[in-house]
Amino acid sequence: MYFKKILASTIMASLVLSGTAMAASKDSFKLPANMHKLTQKQIDVTGDKKADVITLYGQKEKASDIYNEELLLVIKNSKTKQITSISLHDGGYSPKLLLQDLTHDKVSDIMVTADTGGSGGYISSHIYTLKNGKPTELPLPGFSKGKTGLLGTGFIKLKPVALNKSGFYALQGVERDGTNSEDTTSYVTSNWKWNKGGWKLLGEKIEKLNNDQKPSPEMKSTLYKNTKANFGLEIPSSWSGHYKVKHVKSDSMFPSAKHVVYFDYISKDKQDAQSLAIISVYAQNDWKRLSNVDKNQIGSVIGEGNGMVYAVTLPQSNPYDLQSVDGKKFEQMYKDLSLRRTFSILKK
């Protein structure tokens, strides 16, 4: 990758890419090129009772790009000022930085998850403990080495859940019985607690899908073409019958846009519509004139061509109850839309 070529030129970079966490003083640490800060939090992760600074970076050409080629954790010890950097060897969409006590030693652990963007909706996950300043990566829950979860195919969700009011957490994972949304027969939810250096299964739940929840096997993804806005988008089969498209030339939410296209989820009772994605199109000069604040509110750039810039605005959260039919369907449709793979600019 481009990122790896850049880093190979320095000793520090080679250590980062080898998977070894590197400790350095504040003055000697140098952030690798093309790294953009995604999120930053402060909490004690070393056990010295002082809040450390944990920053998650993503490697990409532009800060507005939605896909991160590589993810990098940088931890600054507030007491010693020592900086530790850890390359995760994974990229993805919408990375999350989670800080909870998963190992039950009264010190927060570091967890990073990201959507891989594939049709299976799988995520990548990494968990680190830095007690006493030494970083150690914990295995992911599972019964077999190199395989995660009960099915061994990988998690589509993995998050900390509170065990009690004392601040101790377990992990809750969700797997699909099937490789993608089209052949999924059920979802498996499992809870795991860290115990004596490994994950212990606390319980599991299997939710079988009825025929109304399963996409029709003969239905294939279709290409939506918008010749006015000059882009195409591959619509997953799971969207069929559950969405509508609205194209407007002017919109108060995006006053500088030449085109705005809404892809809305239609609720089961047909009475409600919520945006799954909004694609807005700008002349390059208009996009350059927008402030960074405006650009951040609009969303992320997904393409540039024919003198135009294409940006996508995605929902910040699921607007429905996750346990409801609409909540589950909205979540599935959002996961199935891999914009990096399915978006294209039409040739004039």
Q: What is the pLDDT of residue 16?
A: 34
CA atoms of 239 and 336, how far apart (whole Å): 9
Q: How far is CA 326 from the centre of its chain?
A: 21
Strand partners of residue 224: 233
Mean of all residue pLDDT scores within the chain: 83
**Confidence check: pLDDT of 37 > 90:** yes
The tokens describing 206, both together, are 């299997």
CA atoms of 264 and 311, how far apart (whole Å): 16
| Amino acid in position 27 | D
Q: What is the pTM of this model?
A: 0.63
Strand partners of residue 189: 174, 205
CA atoms of 43 and 128, how far apart (whole Å): 14
pLDDT, tens only, 187-203: 899 999 999 899 999 99
Strand partners of residue 244: 264
**Confidence check: pLDDT of 169 > 50:** yes
**Confidence check: pLDDT of 7 > 60:** no
- Structure-token match 């945006």, residue found: 275
**Confidence check: pLDDT of 317 > 90:** no
Q: What is the pLDDT of residue 26?
A: 60
- Structure-token match 């039919």, residue found: 325
Closest by CA to 180, choosing from 73, 33, 308, 337, is: 337
pLDDT, tens only, 139-154: 999 988 878 999 988 8
Stretch (H or E) spanning 289: helix 284-289
Tell me which of 223 and 27 has the higher pLDDT.
Answer: 223
DSSP 341: H
Q: What is the pLDDT of residue 221?
A: 54
Mean pLDDT of 195-224: 73
First to last CA, the chain: 31
CA atoms of 264 and 243, how far apart (whole Å): 5
The tokens describing 325, both together, are 């039919």
Q: What is the pLDDT of residue 260?
A: 95
CA atoms of 328 and 177, how far apart (whole Å): 15
Q: What is the CA radius of gyration of the chain?
A: 22
Lowest-confidence region among 214-218, 247-251, 287-291: 214-218
Q: Is 77 exposed, middle or buried (0-12, 13-18, 19+ CB in 10 A)?
A: buried
SS3 content of the chain, % helix, strand, coil (to 5): 15, 45, 45
CA atoms of 303 and 97, how far apart (whole Å): 27
Mean pLDDT of 59-72: 84
The tokens describing 110, both together, are 């570091």
Residues with Cβ within 8 Å of residue 254, at least 6 apart in sequence: 260, 278, 280, 298
**Confidence check: pLDDT of 10 > 80:** no
Q: How far is CA 164 from the centre of its chain?
A: 27
**Confidence check: pLDDT of 89 > 80:** yes
